[in-house]
Amino acid sequence: MTDKIREVLAEHGRLSIDVAGLRDGDDLFRLGMTSHASVSVMLELEEAYGVEFPEFMLRRSTFSSVAAIRQAIDELTASASSEAAPG
């Protein structure tokens, strides 16, 4: 999952450093990602993972680092799996 997140960040994050040198906890906004770029990142991630970020996740903190993005996607995919499971 982290590789795909990094790929999306490389294409749409507008970061001031190469994604290869990015640590999972690095602050993406301090590294040049703008609010506009974060929307592009979000849209690409939604398409890549077949999820939709709900309104409560549309915050700077959700997209602040690779680790934060991975956690959000984990929550969304787990939620989607539990909703799809026969009950």
pLDDT tens for residues 19-74? Answer: 999 999 999 999 999 999 999 999 999 999 999 999 999 999 999 999 999 999 99
Domain presence at residue 86: no
Domain presence at residue 73: yes
The model's pTM is 0.90
Sign of the C-alpha dihedral, residues 20, 24, 26, 28?
positive
Domain presence at residue 54: yes
Tell me how far apart the alpha carbons of residues 54 and 33 are, in angstroms, rounded to a whole number: 21
Q: How many domains does the chain have?
A: 1
Domain presence at residue 85: no
Domain presence at residue 87: no
Domain presence at residue 16: yes
CATH of the domain at 71: 1.10.1200.10
Sign of the C-alpha dihedral, residues 34, 5, 31, 24?
positive
For residue 8, the enclosing domain spans: 2-80
Tell me how far apart the alpha carbons of residues 35 and 26 are, in angstroms, rounded to a whole number: 16
> Angle formed by the axes of helices 66-84 and 2-12, to 10°?
120
